[in-house]
Amino acid sequence: MLARTADNLFWLARYIERADYLARIVNVTRRLDSLPSAYGGAGVEWESALLSAGALDRFRESYDTMDAASVIEYLVYDQNNPSSIANCIQYGRANARAVRTALTVETWETINSNWLELKALRNARLSGEPGAENRLGSFLDAVMKMALDVDGSAYRTMLRNDAFWFTRLGLFVERADNTARILDVKYNLLLPSNEVVGGPVDYFQWAAILRAVSALTAYNWVYKEGVKPWLVADLLILKREMPRSLIFCYGEIVSVLDSFARAYGRQGASQRTARTTLTKLENTSIKEIFGDGLHEFITAFIDANNNLGAAVAEQYLVS
């Protein structure tokens, strides 16, 4: 496979997954922002949304006020934000169009039809159609539906070869980064300094985070008790059964990279980097993670994940 084709497939998956994540972040932040003051956070919910998207510094370069309207505009629609939902969908569709012959008809049509629907919703807003400003919820729901449709069509119809593997690799590298960031932001920013861990504010915020990653039901099945931060972290870091957990993502990443190694007859830095990270996750406990500091653990993980992305690019995506 040409490195250019592999790069398009890898980034197609990353952009679609990133758009889904941002839609979930905006949804959960709107929910937190609408809570009564007795259950709200420290008034930094929208700052936390920007931090979890890795966009705080760029936002401050473009906007003077940090409020719901400006953050939503920046994260959802802003053409000057390279990681806005609108741009992620545009870039993802452009990558898919460049490699249409590497995708099944079903996968391409799923991407293209959803892109057209989202484009129509966005254009209705830009043209000032009556009621268009109130369609944010519909737009975010459509973005999340698109991610599910694309993932499902690829999983059900694509041949298990390097084209499919590059899409899975991009998906899980991006998902691991997103899960790590939302955990770190919640633990270090949202809870006000005068509130206690496990109090009502903490409970509502952690429950909102679980909803953001479609994990509240899974949490209740696994732990069968009230929402507690160390158990949420355990679910999203160390539970292999949870498809958004860090250890699940890296199990899939290692499996995909092993498939490349078998197909191409050689291994490299990406395989070694991924196995190192998976081994660290397998050999730690949530008690050890909190004892050494969740923030420190997450920071190291994000750095390792970025290193993996660089290793994959060097080994497979750069011709």
Q: What is the pLDDT of residues 117-157, one digit of tens each?
A: 888 877 777 776 666 556 788 889 989 999 999 999 999 99
Q: In this structure, what are the phi and psi dihedrals at residue 311, rounded to the nearest 5 degrees?
A: -65, -40
> And the tokens for 228?
């507690």
Q: Which residues, including other chains, have CB under 8 Å from residue 149's CB and lie 6 or more apart?
A: 110, 114
At residue 295, the pLDDT reads 87
Q: What is the DSSP string of 191-205?
A: S-TTS-TTSHHHHHH
Cα separation, 146 vs 148, in Å, equals 5
Place of tokens 């011709």: 319
pLDDT score, position 312: 96
pLDDT of residue 196: 45
**What does the pLDDT read at residue 202?**
61
The residues, ordered by sequence, that sit 6+ positions from 157 with a Cβ below 8 Å of its Cβ are 104, 106, 107
For 39, how many CA atoms within 13 A lie in the half-sphere containing its CB?
13
This prediction has a pTM of: 0.90
Mean pLDDT in order along the chain per 10 residues (319 residues): 90 96 90 63 75 89 89 91 93 95 93 88 73 76 92 93 95 96 73 48 75 88 86 94 96 96 92 97 94 90 96 88
Q: Name the residue with tokens 């790590």.
A: 180
| 304: its two tokens | 């390792």
**What pLDDT is attached to residue 40?**
47
Please work out, in degrees rounded to the nearest 5, the angle formed at the alpha carbon of residue 33 by the alpha carbons of 30 and 207: 80
Res 188: pLDDT: 62
Q: Which ranges constitute the DSSP H helices of the chain?
A: 3-34, 45-52, 56-62, 68-72, 85-98, 105-126, 136-157, 162-185, 200-212, 216-223, 229-238, 246-264, 269-282, 286-292, 294-312
Q: What was the pLDDT predicted at 132?
A: 57
Of 137, 150, 72, which is closest to residue 108 (Cα–Cα)? Answer: 150
Phi and psi torsions of 222, nearest 5°: -75, -45
